[in-house]
Amino acid sequence: MELFEKAERLQQLPPYLFKEIDRKKAEVMARGVDIIDLGVGDPDLPTPPHIIRALKKAADDPANHRYPSYSGINDFKEAVTQWYRERFGVELDPTTEVVSLIGSKEGLAHLPLAFIDPGEVALVPTPAYPVYNIATIFAGGQSHFMPLLKENSFLPDLDAIPDEVADRARLIFLNYPNNPTSAVAGLEFFKRVVEFAEKHRVLVCHDAAYTEMAFDGYRSPSFLEVDGAKEVGMEFHSLSKTYNMTGWRIGFAVGNQKGIEGLGAIKSNIDSGVFQAVQMAGIEAIRGGQSCVRDMIQVYTRRRDLMVEGLRDAGLEVELPKATFYLWIEVPGGYTSAQFASRLLEEAGLVVTPGNGFGEPGEGYFRIALTQKRERLAEAAERLKAMRLK
């Protein structure tokens, strides 16, 4: 046996699909090329000042220097409850139906440990945020992939899941507004999800991190707005994108009481909760003035419009998204996703994410994140046009 051989769960992980892109990026930068990185979904906008002030004040209080409650301080959970009531019309019990998270990714990653035994199934969308599949692997489970296809508006076809698979499934992961496709889902789809979950006794895990990043008056619904949703599912939210707080690591899960209990049991044995000062800043984010969110949406709307126009002028096909700060773009004929991403890097100094990096059905697409200043996006658009892709 090899010394310090990695555990089987690590050996099951998909290969690091962006390794070659990273290598080529370093190679191109070494030649002195001005790189514009459109691959990273990390907001470039700063956290609003009133949230930072709340953190500073809370951090000065020694009462916040001790271990926090793993499930979240009461004031934070009550703020979440109030927000859900006002934003979605959903009633929650802050003591049993809300848990704070060290970012929503942490909660999504830990949930399968509470509900998946070795050999059991999770229903996982693809292309998708990789944590759903990876968390299933870490729990010893098996992922049954649900393709997100253009002809289905990038919604999973629940009827295509064999009954014998659905009956073995313990969890189903969903994510709308969606990363990477920027697709949205309406209440009619969520009603079908509730019916599916009731029939097959599967726990719904809806990753709703992008609901507040929506454009042109669109309002993303909550899965929990549907009758019966709380009996079969949970929703995961993050302050990361709404308030530009990716580095702060604070989010929350709400919904089904047993789901919250299961996740809480894992967390109480693994972590010690979110720093209370960060939770108090989170309260200020949720309850404070929301003009910062409206300003953020205006910034991303202008970026979206500029980049979509530039992509179309360059001969590429892209839909105008209703939500998220991602663009999901079809690769020109004759290229794979990875080949076209390489060409953009080599010829235009643009880093994008090949669609197959999010799962096999993502082949034929690439993703752009609008997390660069407008001037840099304008430069990126000019470089695309200069490639004469038409």
- CATH classification number, 49-287, choose in 3.40.50.300, 3.40.640.10, 3.30.1130.10, 2.60.120.10: 3.40.640.10
Q: Kindly give, in sequence order, each residue whose CB lies less than 8 Å from that of residue 312, ignoring residues fewer than 6 positions away.
A: 318
DSSP 319-365: ---SBSSEEEEEPPTT--HHHHHHHHHHHH-EE-EEGGGG-GGGTTE
**pLDDT at 14 (0 to 100):** 79
Is 100 in a helix, a strand, or coil? strand
Residue-wise pLDDT tens for the chain (390 aa)? 567 888 888 888 877 666 777 788 888 888 988 999 999 889 999 999 999 999 999 999 999 999 998 788 999 999 999 999 999 999 999 999 999 999 999 999 999 999 999 999 999 999 999 999 999 999 999 999 999 999 999 999 999 999 999 999 999 999 999 999 999 999 999 999 999 999 999 999 999 999 999 999 999 999 999 999 999 999 999 999 999 999 999 999 999 999 999 999 999 999 999 999 999 999 999 999 999 999 999 999 999 999 999 999 999 999 999 999 999 999 998 999 999 999 999 999 999 999 999 999 999 999 999 999 999 999 999 999 999 886
Q: Where are the domains of the chain?
A: 8-46+292-386, 49-287
In the CATH hierarchy, which top-level class contains the domain 8-46+292-386?
alpha beta
Radius of gyration of the chain (CA): 21
pTM: 0.95
Instruction: Give whole-number Cα distances, 306 to 36, 301, 326, 327, 386, in Å.
Output: 16, 9, 13, 12, 16
HSE-up of 124 (CA within 13 Å, CB side)? 27
Distance from C-alpha of 237 to C-alpha of 220, rounded to nearest angstrom: 13
> What is the identity of the amino acid at 168?
R
Q: Is residue 204 within a helix (H) or strand (E), and if so which, with residue range?
A: strand 203-207
**pLDDT at 13 (0 to 100):** 82
